[in-house]
Amino acid sequence: MRPRIFLLSLALFLLSAHQLKAEDGYRLWLRYDKIEPEERRSAYLQQLGQVFIDGDRPILKAAGSELASGLSLMLGQAVPWVQEPGNAGGIVACVIGKSQAISRLISEEDAKELQPEGFMLLSRDNQVAIAAKDDKGILYGAFHLLRLIQMQKPLDNLRIIENPKVKLRVLNHWDNLDRTVERGYAGFSIWNWHELPEYIDQRYIDYARANASIGINGTVVTNVNANALIFRSDYLEKAAALADVFRPYGIQLYLTARFSAPIELGGLSTADPLDPQVRQWWKDKAAEIYRLIPDFGGFLVKANSEGQPGPQDYGRNHADGANMLADALEPFGGVAMWRAFVYSEEEPEDRAKQAYNEFVPLDGQFRKNVLIQVKNGPVDFQPREPVHPLFGAMPQTPLMMEFQITKEYLGQGTHLVGLAKMYEEILQTDTYAEGKGSSVAKIIDGSLHGHTLTGIAGVANIGTARNWTGNLFGQADWFAFGKLAWDPYRSSADIFREWAELSFTHDPGALAIISSMLASSYETCVNYMTPLGLHHIMAAGHHYGPGPWVKEMSRADWTSVYYHKADEQGLGFNRTESGSNALEQYSPGSRARFADMEQCPLPFLLWFHHVPWGHVLPTGRTLWEELCQRYHQGASEVGRLREKWNSIEGHIDGERFRQVSMHLEIQEKEARWWRDACLSYFQSFSKMEIPPGLEQPKQSLEYYQSLHFPYAPGIRPRW
């Protein structure tokens, strides 16, 4: 009886807290507002009187608690839960309704369609059942059922089956132990290492709930620019405290491994991955971690990139380094996620070629518990990039997608950009690796090359902001990542509408407007920042705002001029056979799309070609005219986003409406800044007038070049 009393108290507390506190975005998409009108609420009450669950294991307790509290809030009265004996046949189940033996609701035929972590929702005999092969499936099914009720969907004749298509669905936090966040635009890190392990913030629990609700089953809580201190015994105890919070929600904890930790923490003279002492140090460290965290997920590693130590420091390769860590983790079932974001210390011919050159020769040499984590594009999370050429080029090695949820190059914390549209574009891209139909999604889910170890990672946009993501619409990106990690074939349109309804309103007109804002915002951002395949033209260091003029840095591939190559003849990076020949890294089917300047899709034209200013494009405009048109179109569309938002003011609570309004005002101002600064700069090469009917830049090029932002978020000031 104790769990029932606790849950009733929890539900009443949540009801009273909800009534007292204004809406501020903290609840994310888990809002559980009371269902109106009363007739609809009564219809649900006829089916959802009590929660019966067949076990008391931690994940099942979390599922029961979430169902009981969520239903209590939405139905306006307490909905307790009780435990029933376990079900035969290896099926875990939960019934919401009247008391009845669970086994009578789930047939053997039903069970055959379930896979690990998958779930089935069935409604029979005026009650609803959740069935799964494991506890995690029950948890995910519980959240799915709650979403259906939140969106006021009928529960009659339910037969929903969902199995995750990707095994590891992981958030990557770029959080430092001092609570700063690299490229973080929502405040500081939520992990308070100083107060752990004794003090467990409620935010940690709500974080786990939110991730579980969208199917995320892993989190890397430390920055890829790793600190060896995390492996010190006292810090491992702190990490274990977080793992204890995450475990009931089906989330495994991972840590980033600094390759030089055996030197910095272990007192060895080398970190050579082939040195027996080094290998033993990692084995001992893995054993220590698993004693504290039995379900530890493994290591994420950034090595030999941007000054990070790695195996190449000792004349070894990435396989040597990854395999050493994989061997240490293998006895415990852990995995090594080795990042492919690398580039050498020497100035490259084309940085876009670096990862392919270093990793493709190693295909087939990695241990079975190694995933190579590859960014979606070959440079660095640009607003738009072609698919990374590694996808499809390493058939013997499982590749793990790395998306960015935080918007380092997409407006940072102030711009509304629906990233599901970008994720969808990448995942649906055909690599032609095994002929037509070889989409990136099929590589990620393992179906193209027969891999069972699969993964997808997202660089988190979460911080100490009360609404978690700073920009309220950043919540949609977190939500979309989870949905596409579970099923990389889902449509962005469905995800946008689902998030909008869970987060804001049931009004069809308002939902259509919010969904359209999200759907158009990605292309809008690309247009006012980097149209036609331009890339890496942001300001140096903090990457806040435009900086196409950046040219004086310690290495050429950190500058903007390296990538856009503007001169009096034209604009763009020639990556064809007559240039860097990066195009050769793609499969023949992909190369055919981009090789001819006349046939190259306009979104990637300047990525692959140096195009004369006066060259006439398929639009009928010259390159210069089209560039001007795209920049102006993007800036104008932000104004239309503001108009759309203003039109639904009556459907949004005041606090969140003001949050979004202020950010859209900033976005419109910054979109015009991008437009005017970039066109002023490129005009200095084209020597052409901005076409009639388009606004002229408000300031001189010198003015835009003089702007200085020493306190832009994401980095520490350098003087």
Catalytic residue of the set 182, 358, 380, 445:
380
Indicate the SS3 state at residue 129: strand
Backbone dihedral region for residue 183 (phi beyond 0: left; psi -120 to 50: alpha; all else: beta): left
d(CA 452, CA 472): 36
Sign of the CA dihedral with 255 first, then 261, 267, and 270 last: positive
Q: Helices 233-246 and 202-213 sit at what angle, rounded to 10 degrees?
A: 50
d(CA 692, CA 695): 8
d(CA 320, CA 607): 33
H-assigned helices in 647-716: 654-686, 701-706
Six token digits for residue 45: 């009450």
Residues 6+ apart with CB under 8 A from 435: 589
Residue 670 identity = E
Catalytic residue of the set 234, 306, 567, 649:
306
In the annotation, is 380 catalytic?
yes
d(CA 309, CA 599): 42
Six token digits for residue 445: 């889910």
Indicate the SS3 state at residue 96: strand
**Which of 572, 634, 580, 625 is closest to 597 using CA atoms?**
572
Tell how far CA 712 is from the center of its chain: 22
Strand order of the β-sheet with 127-132 is: 81-83, 51-53, 92-96, 127-132, 119-124, 159-162
Cβ neighbourhood burial of 263 (10 Å; 0-12, 13-18, 19+): middle
Other CB atoms within 10 A of residue 452 CB = 8
Indicate the SS3 state at residue 694: coil
Catalytic residue of the set 182, 272, 385, 408:
408
d(CA 383, CA 366): 31
Beta bridge partners of 256: 300
| Residue found by looking up tokens 């039109």 in the block | 647
Q: Helices 202-213 and 135-150 sit at what angle, rounded to 10 degrees?
A: 80
In the annotation, is 408 catalytic?
yes
Q: Which residues are catalytic?
A: 306, 380, 408
